[in-house]
Amino acid sequence: MRARSVAAWATVATALTFGVAACGDDNKDGGGGAGSVSGKTLTIYSSLPLQGDSRPQSESVINGEKLALEAAGGKIGDFTIKYVSLDDATAAAGKWDPGAVSSNARKAAQDKTTIAYLGEFNSGASAISIPIINQAGILQISPSNTYVGLTDSAGAEKGEPDKYYPSGKRTYGRVVPYDGIQAKAQASYMKDAGCTKVYILNDKEVYGKGLADNTQTAAEAAGLTVLGNDGIDTKAANFRTVASKVKSSGADCMMFGGITQNKAVQLWKDIHASSPDLKLFGPDGVAESPFTEELSASEQKVTYVTNPTLDPKLYPAAGQKFFADYKAKFGADPEPYAIYGYEAMSLALDSIKRAADQGGDRQAVIDQFFATKDRESVLGTYSINENGDTTLSDYGGNRIEGGKLVFDKVIKAAK
């Protein structure tokens, strides 16, 4: 699937929203618009990419979500919680696909028992699903979206974020800090590593392009010289021409805004082959084993990755317990976003709990989500603001050793 611009995804999202609106109704049974779920079974949907390089990370997130539901005993008060995992990727795309995302969102929107929707993993995918879920009046929480424009107008494209909310009401939020913060973390990490001249590349998708633009702003504010901010052709067989351009620019560092699935590994190899001493910076979009395991030892030595997940010992007791429980149950350490999957589910369940006898009322649950204040969680204590963003702001700086992410430092990147 060819990478599209932010505007292109917004156009797709708008068209799909009108489609789901026609499928719903206006009664209070949950079929269309906010209403109450009848009965005592509430369904929480998860939509993540389960094909291609995304699979290990997504499966880890799903495991986290399941652990949170198990911790609650599968029930909240008198309500039994049904969990449904959906795949927003296709074999043909090898990653998330607009049609699959739309189908998942429609399925949840048309299910009269749906109370919450956890997803998507990729910001471009959420640009499509948010309007559909919003039109149905259902709470949506992403464990991983970081694109600024989904919730905030600062540093976003024209018309964002309002274009994603056709109902005129906010129904979406996230438990991970957005890219206005990650951009500052990238700039700080680059400066600490001795960068002075940076060349920025991006994969042209909503997340990648948005992060690249915000990083350019943050880098320039930090006193770094940005020599370029170019989109790459993700269909290209190699990036030797791009690598030559970066080398001739005189940059001492390169930053990539994008995801593993858009040929990040090939980009790394071509850039490193052309400029072996160039320091290479990647965001959370490549903070996963399908990326780290494919880099050579020499490529790993010059790679720096920002990621909101910190060293386990830096989390509160509940967070440390999560890591221990995860490894005990699944026999391996989790991918970085597993703990955010756990918290996304936990927050959805807590919003239902705080709605008390209105736990089956979609708007009541949405209201409780936005009323989240000083929540003590596996991630630490945080609140959700009026835009749906978390007050958490610490990012982790990571290196790569033996094909694995190794925590390097905490990067303080306050809003």
Could you tell me if residue 294 is inside a domain? Answer: yes
pLDDT digits (tens, 9 = 90+) for 104-123: 999 999 999 999 999 999 99
Partnered with residue 376 across adjacent β-strands are: 381
Mean pLDDT, residues 9-13 = 48
Are 163 and 43 found together in one domain?
yes
pLDDT of 27: 35
Q: Which pLDDT score is estimated for 16? A: 47
Q: Is residue 315 part of a domain?
A: no
- 210 and 286 inside one domain: yes
State residue 389's pLDDT score. 98
Residue 338, φ and ψ in degrees, nearest 5: -60, -40
**Are 96 and 221 part of one and the same domain?**
no
Q: Are residues 56 and 82 in the same domain?
A: yes
Position 281 in a domain? yes
pLDDT at 34: 66
Give the confidence band of 32 by pLDDT, cuts at 50, 70, 90. Answer: very low
Read off the DSSP letter of residue 356. G
Q: Clarify whether residues 281 and 264 are in a common domain.
A: yes
Are 113 and 132 part of one and the same domain? yes
* Token couple for 25: 């109704």
Phi, psi (deg, nearest 5) at residue 79 = -95, 130
Cβ atoms of 209 and 146 closer than 8 Å = no
* The pLDDT value given to residue 414: 60
Q: What is the pLDDT of residue 33?
A: 56
Is the torsion defined by CA of 141, 134, 364, 177 positive or negative?
Answer: positive
3-class SS string, 370-393: HCCCCEEECCEEECECCCCCECCC
CB 81 within 8 A of CB 349: yes
In this structure, the answer to whether residues 261 and 325 fall within a common structural domain is: no
More confident residue, 31 or 177: 177
Judgement on whether residues 47 and 62 belong to the same structural domain of the protein: yes
Asked if the model's pLDDT at residue 291 lies above 80, the reply is yes
Please give the full DSSP string across 220-272, using - where no structure is assigned: HHTT-EEEEEEE--TT-S--HHHHHHHHHHT-SEEEEES-GGGTHHHHHHHHH
Q: CA quadruple 64, 362, 105, 109: dihedral positive or negative?
A: positive
* 387 within domain boundaries: no
pLDDT score at 130? 98
Structure token digits, residue 262: 């858009």
Tokens 């390089």 correspond to: 53
Residue 20 has pLDDT above 70, yes or no: no
Q: Which residues contact 289 (CB under 8 A, 6 or more apart)?
A: 56, 57, 335, 403, 404
pLDDT band at 155 (very low <50, low <70, confident <90, very high): confident
- Same domain for 239 and 324, yes or no, is no
Let me know if residue 225 belongs to a domain: yes
In order, the DSSP letters of 41-103 are EEEEEEEE--SGGGHHHHHHHHHHHHHHHHHTTTEETTEEEEEEEEE-EETTTTEE-HHHHHH
What is residue 22's predicted lDDT score, i.e. its pLDDT?
A: 36
The answer to whether residue 370 is domain-embedded is yes
Same domain, 215 and 141: no
> How far is Cα 368 from Cα 80, in angstroms, rounded to an integer?
19
**Whether residues 57 and 11 fall in one domain:** yes
Q: Is the pLDDT of residue 399 over 50?
A: yes
pLDDT of residue 18: 41
- The type of residue at 396 is G
Parallel, antiparallel, or unpaired: how do β-strands 197-202 and 253-257 relate? parallel
Angstrom CA distances, 225 to 215, 253, 274, stand at 12, 10, 21
**pLDDT number for residue 274:** 98
Q: Which amino acid is at 173?
A: G
The rounded percent of the chain whose pLDDT value lies above 90 is 90
CATH number at residue 249: 3.40.50.2300
Question: H or E stretch including 363?
Answer: helix 362-370
Instruction: Answer yes or no: is 313 within a domain.
Output: no
Min mean pLDDT across 16-25, 64-73, 118-127, 167-176 is at 16-25
Assess whether pLDDT exceeds 60 at residue 1.
no
CB 162 within 8 A of CB 150: no
Query: Which of 187, 216, 195, 15 minimizes the C-alpha distance to 98?
Result: 15
- What is the domain range of residue 88? 6-177+320-382
Reported confidence tier of residue 413, pLDDT bands at 50, 70, 90 = confident
- Segment 171-216, tens digit of pLDDT: 999 999 999 999 999 999 999 999 999 999 999 999 999 999 999 9
Q: At what angle do helices 206-221 and 6-23 cross, to 10 degrees?
A: 140
Q: Are 242 and 272 part of one and the same domain?
A: yes
Q: Which residues contact 212 (CB under 8 A, 6 or more apart)?
A: 200, 201, 202, 229, 255, 257
**How sure is the predictor about 80, in pLDDT bands with cuts at 50, 70 and 90?**
very high
Q: Name which residue leads in pLDDT, 32 or 162.
A: 162
How many domains is the chain partitioned into structurally?
Answer: 2
The rounded distance, in Å, linking the Cα atoms of 174 and 347 is 10
User: 78 lies in a domain?
Assistant: yes
User: CA-to-CA distance for 308 and 189, rounded, in angstroms?
Assistant: 13
Full-model pTM: 0.89
